[in-house]
Structure 1
Amino acid sequence: MNHLATALSPYLQQHAGNPVDWREWGEDALAEAKRRDLPLFISIGYAACHWCHVMAHESFEDEEVAALVNEFTIPVKVDREERPDIDAVYMQATIAITGQGGWPMTVFAAPDGTPFFAGTYFPREHFIRLVNAVGTAWATQRTELLSQGRAIVQACAAAGPDLADVSDSCPVDGPCPAGAPVEASILDAAARQIHGSFDPVNGGFGGAPKFPTAPALAFLLRHHERTGDARSLDIADHTAERMARGGIYDQLGGGYARYSVDAEWIVPHFEKMLYDNALLLGLHTELDRLTGKAIHARVADETARFVVDALGTAEGGFAAALDADTDGVEGATYVWTPAQLTEVLGADDAAWAAELFTVTEEGTFEHGTSVLQLPADPDGSAAAQRFADIRRRLTAARDLRPQPARDDKVVAAWTALAVTALTAYAAHRAQPWADVAADRAARLLADVHTVDGRLRRVSRDGRAGTAQGVLEDHAAVASAYLARHAADPDGGWLPRAKELLDLVDRHFTTGDGGFHDTADDAETLVHRPTDPTDGPTPSGWALAAQAYAEYAGVTGDPYYRDAAYRALAVAEPVLRKHPRFAGGLGVAAETMR
């Protein structure tokens, strides 16, 4: 047994029985590396990650591999969802070294954490050679390794975002101009740039693999509402419908998978993440409001139910994810063959369902299996009733299959995104159960995640973890509290939002209007991450600007309005040059127009 048995993270606990002598990240691990004069082997992943499971099975459960790792390194396991700060630092280094990133992330570093080599997944034999090579190089070429590591860190620290200097027009200690922080022409140009990368057939942007890119779609909806631009609405509408009809959306149980491995949304990477479903619930809710299309209402209903029923925890929060694998097989819970349909439905209904769901003998996935799609709704009331009955029977049969594991830690930022989305959904669709679920989750954030006046990143089983909240946690939770204030003005949510925004102001600002991703009193890493660009969720920078703007809108307080203005004006070059990856900034900028 290694040192992970008492870890809060389900991902770390997955590795507690490995022969690798894993430690959690922290002072003890770094001190042990210094004491034994060995490099750190830092392995970063998350519980729902398919290739993390593969590398664990091939290498970390193997006695021979573990013996080498334990001899030549101090091995450290990191849950990227629990410690996004560590993940961000070493992901930047991995990309600098290899030109690409992903998980599992494999990093070798000096005892002080300075990385000198990094990669992602390595097959067993390759990994054995790598560990042996690191051990030899540490013994015989340490000076070169340390020099290389310092160069990597310096390059990463210097590779900051391209920002504007607004110290004259909007000084930190003075009022900002009365107008909007980003000119309408820049927002219009950003929308046109996003239009230019749109896939008009399949929806979405670019080719395979294809991601939902929810922040960019949210920006297009805000742009449409300000300008009436039909193109922005059409792109968001078409993309959302194509995703909802593809295999990336669970046609039986509701909820979205992480991404599609193809450009047509047919075959997903099967893990289901809370953050994707929260953001896409918000997208379908808005599209239902703007278009009135039945598909958006249906998918909003089903996604809200998925979040609450499948991801809801006993304490009132929302679990981080469902695994990509079932019993070590990716997608096993979800895929079907024609014969399996026949076994459940009988020949006539199975043939009809196979045509509707595009289940073929050849299959659309592996080993002749198909991922369910729904290219078109059944036509007519009788067909709709038959379809509803078939879905019910297939769901009941699927529920008897082995199910994917659930990562039931509660992540503050992601739960906050779900609170905001469920609150808006409940109001728009008149669904009080969703509002109750949103309120319970917000109260968990207030009561469990807030410890000694500071926000903790994760909890599990009602117990807060030790990791401090990062920028995205503070900002997303502040916006969630503001959403709850709109739904329940007497619930005490407004002062809670202010407390978090004041923490952001004191601990995360850069001094020129921008934000660091970690607090000034957080653990010191090899460099302090700062990134205004989006991942699958809006950046912490964008969320903070949005929360400041929302709070100013509710209270009329010019201090917070100026803070939002300054943050967006400073980051305007990012939005102008990389709009598809700055949709969160675009949403906040549209809010202030």
Structure 2
Amino acid sequence: MEAAGSAGGSGAPGASFRFSPRPNRAHLVRWRPWGEEAFAEARRVDRPVALFITAFWCGFCQRLDETALSDEEAITLLNGLYVPVRLEEAERPDVDVRYNQAGAWPAIVLLTPGGVQLAGVHYVPADEFASLLVRALDFYQRNRAWLAESESRGAAGMRQDLPEEPAPLSAAIADEVAGMLEGLADAEFGGFGAELKMLHPEANDFLLHLYETTGESWCLEHVLVTLRRLRASATYDRQDGGFYRYSSRRDWQEPHPEKLLADQAALLANYLHAFRLSGAGEMRRAAEELIAYMDGVLGALDPPFFYGCQDYVGFDGGDGGRRSFLDTHLYCDANARAASAYFDAWRVLGAAACRDRGAALVEALWLRFRSPDGGVYHYWDGAPAVPGLLQDAVAAGAALAGAYETNGDAASLERARELAAYVLDRHRAPGGGFYDIASPGPDRLATRLRLLSQNAAAARFFLRLHGLTGEEGYREAAAWALRPFPNSHRAQGAFAAGFGHAVSLLASA
């Protein structure tokens, strides 16, 4: 997607919004950035908020820019009768998780100035979009009193129901999650599930851990099948390198054309781990190819950092080809995971260049992304933005711990401990778990959430520090992170793998 600053009068000096790389008029909407200022404006002028959550790589988001958001009537309605807010899910995962529970983009949410939802949809054709805006506005104007009463009752907020007295943590939970994965495993094509196939590197990681600790041969065998099938399929890009994000078919032959840094880093760790356990040369070659792709494409222009994503757009220009473009944002969590995977490459392959780049990357992250409150910022786009996300502090801390394990750098361990102290101080939730954000924000961000995947990662970070320092407090923090989630993991499917892995590590710590 292409960026536009204050094009069309964004309503926010210096704000930058990115639109489809194909011709469109979406920049003519006077977009506001997410924040309290947008809701304050909506209250002041008594207009609904039109929240648009997009993804850099999302084809339907690009199509929305080119069609519905280029329609003259829709532009006029948004500018004259709404307060339009636009953000990207990768920039604001904390907003995305609260307004886009379906995890599909674009997410369009129409809200009262006080946050009561009027409508929520995903992609809308151009001939229906203006009608949706008119109908939602009409409902708001005719039901102001009732909606205001709903706001006063707290209907605009959100709640998270986790058990006050969850089931005890035990190795049996890890066994249950392993059984869930075995039931979801596709023995023919690898991966998990029978239809749409996500990469699920966290599930591969858990199965490889189980093979190491229990000797269960099916765990290693399934990961090897998955990684072989992936590399032999259309989900692996033989032209540019790297793996696409998911496939619409179970045989991996219908991929969607985005390649995210976080996925490449996680799959690199998978291939390295599988090579270490199996000695299979094809696992090593795949790892080396991934390193070449990450260095040569995502990491070529601003070393030691890696860009966030490579995406493609096909054009009807007569050549039948495709155009590649990069998300040039630098994301803290994804870069930290890349550094961790590069440290793995040094340990498994003896790749000194990976060790050196990983060390330079964690140092650069610390210097560029550290926030005044002791945490880290989420992304960099010419300046750091969005401090206070648990996922960034945990990923950066884990990478710093990896730097210490790799180089014996005492400063890296001390920095990891500083981030652990920050998480304990700013994110710890009463009753168990850690909140995803350090401080409440506007509207639904007034409720801080305890998310299973993020708490599983936090638990593994604390257990790693426990192993490095011997301090029992870190083991207790890991148990605290996992405490709210027994039983709730059952609705997560293969996404529960990280939780099962963390519980297994805790049981043996």
Q: TM-score, normalised by structure 1?
A: 0.78
Q: 1:515 and 2:434 equivalent?
A: yes
Counterpart of 1:414 in structure 2 is: 334
Counterpart of 1:297 in structure 2 is: 284
Equivalent-residue separation in structure 2 for 1:506 and 1:328 (angstroms): 54
Counterpart of 1:2 in structure 2 is: 9
Equivalent-residue separation in structure 2 for 1:153 and 1:299 (angstroms): 50
Q: 1:449 and 2:450 equivalent?
A: no
User: Which residue of 454, 457, 461 maps to 1:543?
Assistant: 457
Q: 1:454 to 1:28 in 2, by over 3 A?
A: same
Counterpart of 1:138 in structure 2 is: 140
Q: 1:259 to 1:494 in 2, by over 3 A?
A: same
How far 1:484 sits from its partner (Å)?
A: 0.8
User: Which residue of 267, 273, 276 maps to 2:260?
Assistant: 273
Q: 1:587 to 1:11 in 2, by over 3 A?
A: farther
Which secondary structure state, in structure 1, belongs to the residue aligned with residue 269 of structure 2? helix
Q: Deviations over 1:430-454 (max 9, x none)?
A: 1112122212221221001103233
Counterpart of 1:557 in structure 2 is: 471
Identity %: 27
Q: Deviations over 1:60-96 (max 9, x none)?
A: 223232012222211000111111111111113xxxx
2:313/2:322 contact within 8 Å kept: no
Q: Deviations over 1:402-436 (max 9, x none)?
A: 63211111111111111111111122111112122
Equivalent-residue separation in structure 1 for 2:371 and 2:133 (angstroms): 40
| Structure 1 residue ranges without an equivalent (≥5) | 93-99, 167-180, 333-339, 341-368, 370-400, 534-538
Matches of residues 417-428 of structure 1 in structure 2 within 5 Å? 417-428=337-348
Counterpart of 2:358 in structure 1 is: 438
1:485/1:494 contact within 8 Å kept: yes
State the structure with bigger RCO (CA 8 A, min sep 6), 1 or 2: 1
Q: Which amino acid aligns with 1:460?
A: D
How far 1:323 sits from its partner (Å)?
A: 1.9
Which secondary structure state, in structure 1, belongs to the residue aligned with residue 234 of structure 2? coil
How far 1:314 sits from its partner (Å)?
A: 1.4
Matches of residues 100-179 of structure 1 in structure 2 within 5 Å? 100-145=102-147, 153=155, 156-157=158-159, 159-162=160-163, 164-165=165-166
Q: Deviations over 1:239-259 (max 9, x none)?
A: 111111111111232211110
Which secondary structure state, in structure 2, belongs to the residue aligned with residue 43 of structure 1? strand
How far 1:187 sits from its partner (Å)?
A: 1.7
Q: 1:310 to 1:456 in 2, by over 3 A?
A: same
Q: Which amino acid aligns with 2:348?
A: H
2:400/2:416 contact within 8 Å kept: yes
Counterpart of 1:478 in structure 2 is: 397
Counterpart of 1:52 in structure 2 is: 61
| Structure 2 residue ranges without an equivalent (≥5) | 1-7
How far 1:496 sits from its partner (Å)?
A: 0.8
Q: Which amino acid aligns with 2:105?
A: W
Counterpart of 1:183 in structure 2 is: 170
Counterpart of 1:40 in structure 2 is: 49
When structure 1 is superposed on structure 2, of 282-291 and 57-66 the one drifting more is: 57-66
Q: 1:66 and 2:75 equivalent?
A: yes
Counterpart of 1:354 in structure 2 is: none
Equivalent-residue separation in structure 2 for 1:413 and 1:199 (angstroms): 30
How far 1:17 sits from its partner (Å)?
A: 6.3
Q: 1:205 and 2:192 equivalent?
A: yes
Equivalent-residue separation in structure 1 for 2:155 and 2:316 (angstroms): 37
1:5/1:16 contact within 8 Å kept: no
Which secondary structure state, in structure 2, belongs to the residue aligned with residue 24 of structure 1? coil
Q: Which amino acid aligns with 1:546?
A: R
Q: 1:490 and 2:497 equivalent?
A: no
Which secondary structure state, in structure 1, belongs to the residue aligned with residue 387 of structure 2? coil
Q: 1:530 and 2:444 equivalent?
A: no
How far 1:281 sits from its partner (Å)?
A: 0.8
When structure 1 is superposed on structure 2, of 36-45 and 197-206 the one drifting more is: 197-206
User: Which residue of 60, 74, 83 maps to 2:92?
Assistant: 83
When structure 1 is superposed on structure 2, of 67-76 and 569-578 the one drifting more is: 569-578
Task: State the aligned residue count.
Answer: 496
User: Which residue of 502, 505, 508 maps to 2:424?
Assistant: 505
Equivalent-residue separation in structure 2 for 1:31 and 1:127 (angstroms): 25
Q: 1:132 to 1:17 in 2, by over 3 A?
A: closer
Matches of residues 569-584 of structure 1 in structure 2 within 5 Å? 569-575=483-489, 578=492, 580-584=494-498
Equivalent-residue separation in structure 1 for 2:288 and 2:145 (angstroms): 59
Q: 1:520 to 1:64 in 2, by over 3 A?
A: closer
Counterpart of 2:313 in structure 1 is: 325
2:457/2:498 contact within 8 Å kept: yes
Q: Deviations over 1:108-167 (max 9, x none)?
A: 01113332321111111111110111121122123445567788957841x43456448x
Q: CA RMSD in A?
A: 2.7
Q: Which amino acid aligns with 1:73?
A: Y
When structure 1 is superposed on structure 2, of 571-580 and 233-242 the one drifting more is: 571-580
Equivalent-residue separation in structure 2 for 1:293 and 1:477 (angstroms): 31
1:220/1:236 contact within 8 Å kept: yes
Which secondary structure state, in structure 1, belongs to the residue aligned with residue 86 of structure 2? strand
How far 1:13 sits from its partner (Å)?
A: 11
User: Which residue of 274, 294, 299 maps to 1:287?
Assistant: 274
Equivalent-residue separation in structure 2 for 1:474 and 1:49 (angstroms): 27
Q: 1:24 and 2:33 equivalent?
A: yes
Equivalent-residue separation in structure 1 for 2:408 and 2:158 (angstroms): 45
Equivalent-residue separation in structure 2 for 1:34 and 1:156 (angstroms): 20
Q: TM-score, normalised by structure 2?
A: 0.90
Which secondary structure state, in structure 2, belongs to the residue aligned with residue 572 of structure 1? coil
Report which of the two structures shows the higher radius of gyration computed on alpha carbons: 1
1:471/1:517 contact within 8 Å kept: yes
Which secondary structure state, in structure 2, belongs to the residue aligned with residue 44 of structure 1? strand
Equivalent-residue separation in structure 1 for 2:421 and 2:464 (angstroms): 14
1:42/1:75 contact within 8 Å kept: yes
Counterpart of 2:216 in structure 1 is: 229
Q: 1:314 and 2:235 equivalent?
A: no
1:316/1:441 contact within 8 Å kept: yes
1:543/1:584 contact within 8 Å kept: yes
Which secondary structure state, in structure 1, belongs to the residue aligned with residue 195 of structure 2? coil
How far 1:305 sits from its partner (Å)?
A: 1.8
2:393/2:423 contact within 8 Å kept: yes
1:250/1:257 contact within 8 Å kept: yes
1:255/1:272 contact within 8 Å kept: yes
Which secondary structure state, in structure 2, belongs to the residue aligned with residue 404 of structure 1? strand
Equivalent-residue separation in structure 2 for 1:208 and 1:144 (angstroms): 43
How far 1:217 sits from its partner (Å)?
A: 1.7
User: Which residue of 242, 247, 267 maps to 1:260?
Assistant: 247
Q: 1:89 to 1:13 in 2, by over 3 A?
A: farther
Equivalent-residue separation in structure 2 for 1:495 and 1:318 (angstroms): 25
Which secondary structure state, in structure 1, belongs to the residue aligned with residue 196 of structure 2? coil
Q: 1:154 to 1:523 in 2, by over 3 A?
A: closer
How far 1:547 sits from its partner (Å)?
A: 0.6
